Structure 1
Amino acid sequence: MNLAIIPARSGSKGIKNKNLALLNNKPLLYYTVYAAKNSHFIDKIVLNSDGDEILEYGKTQDIDTLKRPIELAQDDTTSDKVILHTLKFYKYYENIIFLQPTSPFRTYKHIDEAFLKFQEEQSNALISVTEYDNKILKAFIMSKKGYLQGICNNSYPFMPRQKLPKTYMSNGAIYIIKTDLFLKNPTFFQEKTTYYIMDEKSSLDIDSTKDLKKANTILQSSL
């Protein structure tokens, strides 16, 4: 049995009431709820939010809703705390599928493909990623003694980019983890954490009005 958790805080600095902001005449939250409801591997969906308006919308979508306390709705509240709060009320699910509503182009097919990969590889966790410019490996950081050192090692900064390994960035769209392992060590990065690669468009994360306009343009151009 797999539990999908959708976190949707009411406060947002970039876009006011972001999770209900309209994207092609539908609330941003709609796209993640739709993807979760159409996945073949999700048995229960719970929307965790501090906002009454968000929770009311969740009820219209025929999914479970859970109100979080105000102390878990701050700018610095981390995902692990939201998940642990949810698991107090939703027990006995083997896996957690964590879906942030700021990824409207993550579809149910992405969720299903990611879960199959997680399952087939017998992984403990999965994080969705997008390919990232490997030039980052040529960067330096400052050592404790105030000298330069390579961000990864001292060879990469001087290697041709073509010889550097590929790099990937978490896109925030899909996180999967075994529940028992998360309860023991509440982080998505576990031993045997695999990945699911998504393209740039599917990885678009809505953080600002500029992102929202870009997403609207993409949707309208596809009609």
Structure 2
Amino acid sequence: MTVLAVIPARGGSKGVPAKNLAPVGGIPLVVRAVRAALAARRVTDVVVSTDDAAIAEAARTAGAEIVLRPAAIAGDTATSEAAVLHAMDAYEAMSGAAAEVVLLVQATSPFLTAGDLDGVVRAVTDEGADTALTVAPTHGFLWRLDGEGSPEHVRDASLRLGGYGVNHDRANRPRRQDRPREFLETGAAYAMRADGFRTARHRFFGRTALVETDASRVLEIDDPHDLARARALAPLVEPPVLPAHGDIDAVVLDFDGTQTDDKVLIDADGRETVAVHRGDGLGIAALRRSGLKVLILSTERNPVVAARARKLDVPVLHGIDRKDLALKQWCDEHGIAPERVLYVGNDVNDLPCFGLVGWPVAVASAHDAVRAEARAVTATPGGEGAIREIAGWLLGPALQPPHHTPHRALDT
């Protein structure tokens, strides 16, 4: 049975600019959706419907087919149904086959799993449903304003008068265990019989199945606050995924705050001294021996950085204003795909590089914004063996960081 997953991901978004490319756990939202769909056992084909070149490139790299969406169905008022119908037609033209079941998969639900998708497909293919959607149990009491209770009628806009209960009687509020079960539509995944969807042109028709999911993973990203919550939740609701040697071709290292503790000692002559970690040097040497390319990339043009690079026998680019442009050029010169690069950073000037590479990694002492956009975070702070820890991820537990005493790298 042909099961087509369609991921609508247009470029325009007023609430969160470039929302579908926003990283959660270091992975862009559209890529997360593509990976979940590709991992679902019952999904046979995955397409992303988009009007945006950057989204198309990210989705294609992740393994999806691309359907370019015309402007007429890419605006703020365009419906997801219109995008899915257009993608179904495009898929049929590309493949010569018609889908029997179609999925609407929302990239704005970052914690969607392959199991969720298999669940809604199973409800349609095996259990007789015409449509299915993911839901989560809820026990909330809902309220609604009557016509006299709009905020403009009150002095404080946070105070809303004229409220009444929707799913409860305020004079009789039963205990949770005495109420009928209610479910919240998660907005993450919908499955439909393709022929019925073409006729109804709506995601709900015939018999609808509710597929219960874990309420702790339910979150839809509509505004910056949702995105911040998703980034904070990612380490809690998802098992940590660390890179292996086969996942990458190069390791690129920031210097200050990553290979150091971000402190500088300056003598009376203006000479700078920083502390580095011997374990990091051992880790970098092991990475080089393993065949990975290693580069130090720093904003600061500082003799200390150059001296450390010479000591490690590693190439260095320093005094770089746009680290992402320098990194992209370096990758092009060496024939390395950016998605096969592990970049280690600690501060906000590393974020453009995070958006370029496949494995953005933050040290434990990194700025909160950097940790939020990292795909992995070390347990070790910068300057205390974080690079040795990363070498341990890639090369095995024998390289996990021991406790070494830092030594000083001098400008010589």
Report the Cα offset of residue 202 of structure 1.
1.6
Of the three residues 174, 178, 182, the one matched with 1:161 is 174
Report the Cα offset of residue 187 of structure 1.
1.0
2:8 & 2:166 partners in 1: Cα distance? 33
Which amino acid in structure 2 is aligned with residue 168 of structure 1?
F
Percent identical residues: 28
Structure 1 contact 80–187 (Cα < 8 Å) conserved: yes
Report the Cα offset of residue 63 of structure 1.
1.6
1:79 & 1:158 partners in 2: Cα distance? 40
SS at match of 1:196: strand
Structure 1 contact 10–19 (Cα < 8 Å) conserved: yes
- Runs of at least 5 residues in structure 2 that lack an aligned partner in the other structure: 93-97, 148-163, 241-412
Cross-structure match for 1:209? 224
**CA separation of 1:77 and 1:161: change in aligned 2, threshold 3 A:** farther
Using structure 1 for the length normalisation, give the TM-score: 0.86
Cross-structure match for 2:396? none
Cross-structure match for 2:130? 124
Q: Deviations over 1:51-101 (max 9, x none)?
A: 111111122122210111112111111111111111222231100011010
Identify the range of structure 1 (12-21 vs 112-121) with the bigger mean alpha-carbon deviation: 112-121
Cross-structure match for 2:86? 85
Structure 1 contact 139–151 (Cα < 8 Å) conserved: yes
Cross-structure match for 1:99? 105
SS at match of 1:172: strand
Of the three residues 189, 194, 201, the one matched with 1:179 is 194
1:1-223 alignment, distance < 5 Å: 1-91=2-92, 92-136=98-142, 159-162=172-175, 163-221=178-236, 223=240
Structure 2 contact 5–37 (Cα < 8 Å) conserved: yes
Give the 4+ runs in structure 1 shifted more than 6 A.
none
Report the Cα offset of residue 117 of structure 1.
3.1
Report the Cα offset of residue 164 of structure 1.
4.0
**CA separation of 1:164 and 1:186: change in aligned 2, threshold 3 A:** same
Report the Cα offset of residue 20 of structure 1.
0.5
Cross-structure match for 2:268? none
Q: Deviations over 1:194-220 (max 9, x none)?
A: 111222322111112222221212223
RMSD in angstroms over aligned alpha carbons?
Answer: 2.3
SS at match of 2:90: coil
Using structure 2 for the length normalisation, give the TM-score: 0.48
1:56 & 1:182 partners in 2: Cα distance? 29
Which amino acid in structure 1 is aligned with residue 129 of structure 2?
S
Q: Deviations over 1:110-159 (max 9, x none)?
A: 212332233332100001112234523x75867xxxxxx9858xx95654
2:145 & 2:174 partners in 1: Cα distance? 15
1:59 & 1:89 partners in 2: Cα distance? 16
SS at match of 1:161: coil
Structure 2 contact 116–134 (Cα < 8 Å) conserved: no
1:219 & 1:78 partners in 2: Cα distance? 28
2:174 & 2:145 partners in 1: Cα distance? 15
- Runs of at least 5 residues in structure 1 that lack an aligned partner in the other structure: 143-148
Which amino acid in structure 2 is aligned with residue 129 of structure 1?
V
Larger Rg: 1 or 2? 2
2:62 & 2:172 partners in 1: Cα distance? 52
1:168 & 1:140 partners in 2: Cα distance? 22
Q: Deviations over 1:147-205 (max 9, x none)?
A: xx9858xx956543335423222111110000000111011111211111222322111
Structure 2 contact 25–235 (Cα < 8 Å) conserved: yes
1:157 & 1:179 partners in 2: Cα distance? 43
